[in-house]
């Protein structure tokens, strides 16, 4: 049985092709397994993928029972899960420029200078020129020993790599066909692709998913592996394959997949579910036992709304209106939040004459700010009297309190655009503290202060 992530299922053609945004939303809605330190995508079988695709296509409010899920898609998924597996082969679409196509393996010996860190090539042997590969290794080893005996460096680097092959200079720019854009298979390394396939014996017709036999101690290639041919799924006649499929077996496979898709960790399907009714402010019980709909819609719709909000926030970024400026904060590629911001003058009391941007955090806290300068002046007069001062020098207070003007930033969510159009920032700020702004639109305070003039 093939069990791969949703992304891999789409790569090999077992998931319906969708645009980038839809693919990402479905992927995120399916969730992860593991923990936050090592999240991993859930593996999906071909049958589970066929069910997910079918329920997504019919829409949010439609349901199907297991029998109604019988289709060409689930029948093909049953066949794939039963007899086919994933294989890596050279890309069938890769091409060759036909220029300087030579391949051989190289064995190179280096002399290393520990003082300068430089390496000098002493010998480079190419397979097929003078030696076979085994003879080349033996000759290189003897040459190294002779070099060391004559006082050469012992820090030789024997480097052998079967990927260190010379392919020649490619005749195409960027190693791709000038018209089709297909890669050149004879340069750098062969291009590979992942396909759905199975091995079929040429004479007996015996089917295998792998030519590797797994033993207790080790795995090895089967003896008659050369008698098997790789059959690739997308090159087969699917209509012919489905002729021998029993629908009762497909139905059993569908029911088994449903049980795996309706769990606490994978709530991908719903039969009986609750839906919140905003009018009655209660949950309505919906659905019918044995009939299933896709359980990912809540996440998909949330992502769709987030995508629309992000696009709107980006479009509005920097917009100025009635003294407000729309500012945004980007949290991820798909999430950008925005709000209307404006500045209003407020007044604080400080024991030292220093710039407003140098005031400590304590003095800029909400409880130490006044909306009117006169209120701050009155507080200064009280603090500068002898009775309230605790630190004296020559019978007078050691430090005099003074008033400083500070710019305070106020914010409004985009849904309160009517307030932005109606009030400038300072007007909104004062009306909010006077209780003239409805509580649900209040972004400043909660009107719970009991001391006149102090903003909570």
pLDDT in tens, 76-116: 999 999 989 999 988 888 888 876 555 555 656 666 666 77
pTM over 0.75: no
Convert the pLDDT of each residue in 272-312 to its tens digit: 877 788 888 888 888 888 999 999 999 999 999 999 999 99
Q: Pull the structure tokens for residue 92.
A: 């069938």
Convert the pLDDT of each residue in 16-75 to its tens digit: 999 999 999 999 999 998 777 888 999 999 999 999 999 999 998 899 999 999 999 999
For residue 253, which of 51, 6, 43, 64 has the smallest C-alpha distance? 51
What pLDDT was estimated at residue 358? 44
Provide the pLDDT confidence category of residue 240 given band limits of 50, 70 and 90: very high
CB 55 within 8 A of CB 19: no
**What average pLDDT does the structure give for the chain?**
81
Residue 188 is classified by DSSP as: S
**SS3 at position 444:** coil
CB 29 within 8 A of CB 294: no
What pLDDT was estimated at residue 366? 43
* pLDDT average, residue stretch 365-374: 71
Q: Is pLDDT at 212 greater than 90 in this prediction?
A: no
**In terms of pLDDT, which residue wins out, 111 or 370?**
370
Q: What is the dihedral of CA 145, 146, 148, 152, to 10 degrees?
A: -140
Q: Strand 324-332 vs strand 396-397: parallel, antiparallel, or unpaired?
A: unpaired
By percentage, how much of the chain surpasses pLDDT 70?
A: 75
CB < 8 Å & 24+ apart, contacts of 378-386: 379/349, 380/349, 383/349
Residues ≥6 apart with Cβ < 8 Å to 188: 167, 175
Q: What is the dihedral of CA 129, 135, 138, 144, to 10 degrees?
A: -10
What pLDDT was estimated at residue 356? 52
* From 41-45, 192-196, 452-456, the region with the lowest mean pLDDT: 452-456
* CA 211 to chain CA centroid, nearest Å: 35
For residue 110, which of 149, 159, 165, 150 has the smallest C-alpha distance? 159
Provide the pLDDT confidence category of residue 386 given band limits of 50, 70 and 90: low
Provide the pLDDT confidence category of residue 349 given band limits of 50, 70 and 90: confident
In 384-453, which ranges are continuous DSSP H helix? Answer: 417-422, 425-433
What pLDDT was estimated at residue 447? 43
* pLDDT average, residue stretch 202-224: 85
What pLDDT was estimated at residue 160? 44
* From 151-155, 288-292, 331-335, the region with the lowest mean pLDDT: 151-155
Convert the pLDDT of each residue in 423-449 to its tens digit: 999 998 888 887 787 766 666 664 443
* pLDDT average, residue stretch 415-426: 90
CB 258 within 8 A of CB 290: no
For residue 60, which of 297, 362, 366, 388 has the smallest C-alpha distance? 297
Distance from C-alpha of 6 to C-alpha of 45, rounded to nearest angstrom: 9
Residue 296 is classified by DSSP as: T
Computed on alpha carbons and rounded to an integer, the radius of gyration of the chain in Å comes to: 37
CB 453 within 8 A of CB 372: yes
* CA 234 to chain CA centroid, nearest Å: 29
Provide the pLDDT confidence category of residue 130 given band limits of 50, 70 and 90: low
**In terms of pLDDT, which residue wins out, 156 or 350?**
350
**SS3 at position 108:** strand
For residue 51, which of 256, 346, 336, 318 has the smallest C-alpha distance? 256
Q: Which residues pair with 403 in a beta bridge?
A: 349
């Amino acid at each position: 049985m093939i069990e791969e992530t949703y992304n891999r299922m789409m790569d090999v053609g077992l998931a319906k092709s969708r645009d980038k945004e839809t693919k990402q939303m479905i992927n995120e809605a399916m969730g992860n397994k593991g923990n936050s330190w090592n999240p991993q995508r859930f593996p999906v079988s071909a049958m589970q993928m066929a069910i997910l695709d079918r329920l997504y296509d019919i829409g949010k409010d439609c349901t199907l029972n297991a029998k109604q899920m019988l289709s060409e898609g689930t029948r093909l998924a049953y066949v794939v899960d039963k007899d086919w597996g994933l294989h890596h082969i050279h890309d069938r679409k890769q091409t060759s420029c036909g220029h300087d196509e030579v391949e051989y393996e190289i064995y190179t010996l280096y002399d290393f200078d520990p003082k300068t860190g430089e390496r000098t090539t002493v010998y480079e042997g190419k397979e097929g020129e003078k030696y076979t590969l085994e003879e080349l290794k033996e000759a290189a080893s003897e040459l190294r020993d002779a070099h060391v005996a004559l006082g050469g460096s012992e820090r030789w680097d024997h480097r052998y790599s079967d990927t260190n092959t010379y392919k020649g200079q490619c005749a195409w720019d960027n190693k791709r066909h000038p018209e089709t854009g297909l890669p050149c298979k004879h340069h750098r390394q062969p291009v590979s692709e992942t396909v759905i396939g199975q091995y079929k014996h040429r004479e007996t017709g015996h089917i295998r998913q792998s030519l590797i036999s797994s033993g207790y101690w080790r795995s090895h290639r089967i003896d008659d592996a050369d008698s098997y041919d790789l059959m690739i799924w997308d090159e087969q006649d699917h209509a012919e394959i489905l002729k021998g499929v029993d629908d009762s077996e497909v139905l059993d496979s569908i029911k088994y997949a449903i049980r795996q898709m309706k769990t606490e960790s994978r709530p991908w399907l719903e039969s009986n579910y609750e839906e919140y009714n905003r009018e009655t402010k209660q949950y309505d019980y919906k659905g019918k036992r044995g009939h299933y709909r896709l359980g990912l819609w809540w996440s998909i719709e949330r992502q769709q709304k987030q995508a629309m909000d992000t696009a709107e926030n980006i479009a509005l970024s920097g917009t100025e209106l009635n003294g407000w400026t729309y500012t945004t904060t980007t949290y991820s590629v798909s999430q950008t939040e925005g709000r209307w911001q404006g500045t209003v003058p407020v007044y604080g009391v400080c024991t030292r004459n220093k710039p407003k941007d140098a005031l400590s955090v304590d003095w800029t806290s909400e409880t130490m700010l006044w909306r009117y300068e006169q209120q701050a002046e009155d507080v200064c007069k009280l603090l500068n009297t002898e009775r309230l001062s605790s630190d004296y020098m020559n019978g007078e207070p050691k430090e005099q309190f003074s008033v400083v003007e500070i710019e305070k930033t106020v914010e409004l969510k985009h849904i309160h655009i009517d307030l932005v159009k109606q009030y400038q920032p300072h007007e909104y700020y004062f009306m909010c503290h006077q209780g003239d702004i409805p509580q649900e639109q209040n972004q400043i305070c909660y009107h719970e202060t009991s001391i006149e003039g102090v903003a909570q």
